[in-house]
Amino acid sequence: MNNAKEGAGLIPTLGFGIPGSASMAILLGAFLITGITPGPEMLTTHLDLTFSMVWAIVVSNVITVAGCFLFIRQLAKVTFVRGSILVPPLVILVSLGAYTARNTLFDLVLMILFGVFGWAATRGRWPLAPLLLGLVLGRSAERNFFISYSFFGWHWLYRPAVIVLAVVIISALFWPMIAARRRAIVLNSVNVPP
């Protein structure tokens, strides 16, 4: 099931440039770093790249299923390894990867700062997916904002599609609070003695 969602997440990532999952957000970031802009041209100009990714997912799923059937008992034992054993080698590998990207200590310090931020976010139960989406889609959103502003000025904010999207976004932001408040009111009215 874990692998099956990647194929579905690839559709909006390649077709519209909107990541369908956290792993697709990382893939989208890799595309933007290498100069590939996901969108309609991935289905026309870069169709060979799109088909190669689709076939890579198909072949990897077949290999994964075969590997899981062969090594399921051994793979299940990995979940019982203590974090104190797994974390030190992982920290070393991540540090080496961060340093060797540009051979500067700044990247290592940046990795440590973001590691502390990620730890604090996990402890505070902050959702990390919106942050990842903001990092990946931020440059594209900023570029499109300046294009809209250069063509229409601030009048683009009054266009019907923008107004509808703003209403949907604001509703999505405030709906959980409204629903929780309504539930509390209903529960309080039920629990009030006659």
pLDDT digits (tens, 9 = 90+) for 9-60: 777 888 777 777 777 777 877 887 777 778 777 777 778 888 888 888 888 8
Distances in Å between the Cα of 49 and the Cα atoms of 6, 54, 135 are 16, 9, 24
* Short-list 72, 28, 74, CA closest to 53: 28
Q: What is the pLDDT of residue 177?
A: 83
Which residues are within 8 A (CB) of 156 and not within 5 positions of it... i.e. 6 or more apart?
A: 148, 149, 162
Output the CA torsion sign for 64, 67, 68, 74. negative
Find where tokens 């579905």 sit.
8
Banded pLDDT at 184 (limits 50, 70, 90): confident
pLDDT digits (tens, 9 = 90+) for 78-112: 888 887 888 888 888 888 888 887 788 888 888 88
pTM score:
0.45
